[in-house]
Amino acid sequence: MQYNHYTTGRIIRELREQQGLTQEVLSGLAAVSRSHLAEIETGHINANVETLWRISEALGIRMSDLMRMVEQAIEGEE
C-alpha cells in the first residue's frame, strides 16, 4: 500500500462536511490557515504530522483513527 495525500484530503473534507463545519471554522479550530486547509483537502499539498494531528483534534478524532480511515480508503482503491 502506498500513501496517497489526495485520499487523506478527501477524508478530511468528508469528515468536516459530516460535522457541518466550514473550512473557515475547521481551520480556526486547528490553527491552520483556511487556504492551507483547502490545499490539503484538494490534495495539492501533503500535510505534515503536526498539522494532521491538529486537524484530527479539531475534528474530535484521534489521528490514528484518521489514518485508519485513509488506509481503508486506499485499500479500497487498489
CATH number for 5-77: choose from 3.40.630.10, 3.30.420.60, 1.10.260.40, 1.10.10.10. 1.10.260.40
User: Of 52, 78, 29, 49, whose CA–CA distance to 11 is shortest?
Assistant: 52
Cβ 27 vs Cβ 36: under 8 Å: yes
| Residue-by-residue pLDDT tens, the chain, 78 positions | 788 899 999 999 999 999 999 999 999 999 999 999 999 999 999 999 999 999 999 999 999 999 999 999 999 876
The residue extents of the domains of the chain are: 5-77
Rounded to two decimals, what is the model's pTM?
A: 0.93
